[in-house]
């Protein structure tokens, strides 16, 4: 579906540019329309073929999957009871361990400092 959307976008841009150039050059309306149609088809076909070849050669991956299943054998997150020990000792809620690739705000404990030379 992504390849079709890219082809449509390139085709529309090409058709608009060709049609506008034809109208500014005082070409008849029928000729400008036919040129725009041919430009739309050629640009769309060419961009679809380029996207198809890029995906076939595995140089680009247009099938983006944002949600993936967790790897098998991964343990589930710790229960709520385990996090209450630190809360009872300090009075502050326990900090949760971020998932791999998740966002972690800077704090003095996790900030790596670099000494100047």
Q: Note the pLDDT tens digit of each residue in 39-54.
A: 999 999 999 999 999 8
**Domain membership of residue 33 as a residue range:** 11-56
Average pLDDT, the chain: 78
- What number is the average pLDDT over the span 64-70? 54
The 10s digit of each residue's pLDDT in 11-42 is 999 999 999 999 999 899 999 999 999 999 99
Q: Kindly state whether residue 102 falls inside one of the protein's structural domains.
A: no
The 10s digit of each residue's pLDDT in 82-117 is 545 555 555 555 555 656 667 778 788 877 778 888
pTM above 0.85, yes or no: no
Number of domains present in the structure of the chain: 1
Q: Kindly state whether residue 64 falls inside one of the protein's structural domains.
A: no
More confident residue, 79 or 40: 40
Q: Kindly state whether residue 112 falls inside one of the protein's structural domains.
A: no
Q: How far apart are CA 4 and CA 52, in angstroms?
A: 10
Q: Kindly state whether residue 41 falls inside one of the protein's structural domains.
A: yes
Q: Kindly state whether residue 17 falls inside one of the protein's structural domains.
A: yes
Q: Kindly state whether residue 52 falls inside one of the protein's structural domains.
A: yes
CA atoms within 13 Å, Cβ hemisphere of 37: 6
């Amino acid at each position: 579906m992504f390849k079709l959307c890219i082809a449509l976008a390139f085709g529309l841009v090409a058709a608009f540019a060709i049609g506008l150039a034809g109208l500014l050059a005082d070409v008849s309306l029928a000729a400008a329309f036919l040129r725009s149609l041919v430009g739309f088809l050629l640009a769309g076909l060419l961009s679809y073929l380029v996207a198809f070849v890029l995906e076939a050669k595995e140089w680009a991956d247009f099938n983006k999957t944002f949600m993936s299943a967790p790897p098998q054998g991964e343990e589930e997150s710790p229960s709520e009871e385990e996090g209450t020990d630190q809360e009872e000792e300090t009075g502050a809620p326990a900090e949760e361990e971020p998932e791999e690739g998740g966002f972690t705000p800077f704090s003095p404990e996790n900030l790596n400092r670099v000494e100047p030379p």
